[in-house]
Amino acid sequence: MLQLQRMRRLAGANCLLQRHSATWRSSTKNASFSEVLQLEDKKLTGVVFPLQGLEKYLAPNVNTTSFRTFNPGLDDIHRAEALFKPSGKHVIDYFSSAVRMDHAPQLSQPEVCFVGRSNVGKSSLIKALFSLAPNVDVRVSKTPGHTKKMNFFKVGKYFTLVDMPGYGYRAPQDFADMVEAYLQERQNLKRTFLLVDSLVGFQKADHIAIEMLEEFGIPYVFVLTKMDKAPKGLLVKNVLEIQDFAEKHTQGCFPQLFPVSSIEYSGIHLLRCFIAHVTGNLPMMNS
């Protein structure tokens, strides 16, 4: 009952959403890793390892050890990219949608899902991750509350990505039945990505979601979205705040934040690599 009340609060919380007017640019420039590798060193670091790219804005006494908790080599990132590129029998596509857990497809391959406030950039992030498979239809919108169902996207036989409806402003009525049940019951769920907007940082509704993930004891990761939009000072402030919170106040959260821009593709290659890794598709030498 407590959980239901909490999910209702989550669904209804008015989070002072900012309406972002930026429109999705469909260019896939810099989406392919071989193109990114041609960038000069400083830009390469910022695009591929955004946290490390931000280090120059930090005070010298800030401990950045956790910025490298997941620290793949460029060859690992390259190997992961192959999973996100359709070829021959390797098909990447939308699979199905569900508004209730008993309508969710029975899939045994590993799964990861994306949750966060409405408009935070969940669908855009999935679209960016799939930029090498441009035929995959991922719907994004500047109107909050656009995604109404759990949308399942299959990456061949390797794993599934699930785009969730947002919580907070304009969340769907049945949000609680859908998302709470999914998070609690989905056996093949390997990681939940909780997205936070870099312009506003943690909001009340995010803390309710974190409380729920902690209570369910499922592993999750923070992703900081829209890093192209936030002024550097604000970006750094939110990065440090979230890193600190993940390290000191959570049990189930991975201690490294993943900042991304789905417009400029910053952090996208690293996140592809992390997903490949947590779904068991990319054993790594140093992990």
Ligand X SMILES: Nc1nc2c(ncn2[C@@H]2O[C@H](COP(=O)(O)OP(=O)(O)OP(=O)(O)O)[C@@H](O)[C@H]2O)c(=O)[nH]1
**Minimum CB distance to Mg ion, residue 183 (Å):** 17
**Residue 121-140 contact track with ligand X, rule CB under 6 A, x = bound:** xxxx---------------x
**Minimum CB distance to ligand X, residue 90 (Å):** 25
Nearer to ligand X, 213 or 282 (CB): 213
Q: Would you say 201 and 238 are in contact if contact means Cβ atoms under 8 Å apart?
A: yes
Report how many residues bind ligand X under the rule CB under 6 A: 28
- Which residue is listed with tokens 């400083």? 42
Nearer to ligand X, 54 or 282 (CB): 54
Residues in region 218-237 near Mg ion by CB under 5 A: none
Which region, judged by CB under 5 A, interacts with Mg ion, from 33-41, 49-57, 141-149, 169-177? 141-149
Residue from the set 22, 135, 231, 283 that interacts with ligand X by CB under 6 A? 22
Q: Which does 119 bind (CB under 5 to 8 A by kind): Mg ion, ligand X, none?
A: ligand X
**Minimum CB distance to ligand X, residue 44 (Å):** 19
> Does 123 participate in binding Mg ion (rule CB under 5 A)?
yes
**Minimum CB distance to ligand X, residue 139 (Å):** 7
Residues in region 102-121 near ligand X by CB under 6 A: 116, 118-121
**Minimum CB distance to ligand X, residue 19 (Å):** 9
> Does 262 participate in binding ligand X (rule CB under 6 A)?
yes
For the beta sheet containing 150-155, the strands, ordered from the edge strand earlier in sequence to the opposite edge, are 92-98, 150-155, 159-163, 111-116, 189-197, 220-225, 258-259
Q: Would you say 144 and 170 are in contact if contact means Cβ atoms under 8 Å apart?
A: yes
> Does 53 participate in binding ligand X (rule CB under 6 A)?
no
**Residue 138-177 contact track with ligand X, rule CB under 6 A, x = bound:** --xxx-xxxx-----------------xx-----------
> Does 279 participate in binding ligand X (rule CB under 6 A)?
no
**Residue 204-243 contact track with ligand X, rule CB under 6 A, x = bound:** ---------------------xx-xx--------------
In a 13 Å sphere around the CA of 267, the CA atoms on its Cβ side amount to 24
Residue nearest to ligand X (CB): 166
> Does 147 participate in binding Mg ion (rule CB under 5 A)?
yes
**Residues 6+ away with beta carbon under 8 Å from 244:** none
DSSP for the chain, please give it.
-HHHHHHHHHHH----PPPP-PPPP---TT-SHHHHTTS-HHHHHHHH-HHHHTGGGS-TT---GGGGSS---HHHHHHHHHHTS-BTTB-EEEEEEESSGGGS----S-EEEEEEBTTSSHHHHHHHHTTTSTTS-----SSTT---SEEEEEETTTEEEEEPPPBSTT--TTHIIIIIHHHHH-TTEEEEEEEEETTT---HHHHHHHHHHHHHT--EEEEEE-TTTS-HHHHHHHHHHHHHHHHHH-SSB-SS-EE--TTT-TTHHHHHHHHHHHTTS---TT-
Chain positions contacting Mg ion, by CB under 5 A: 122-123, 147
Chain positions contacting ligand X, by CB under 6 A: 20, 22-24, 116, 118-124, 140-142, 144-147, 165-166, 225-226, 228-229, 261-263
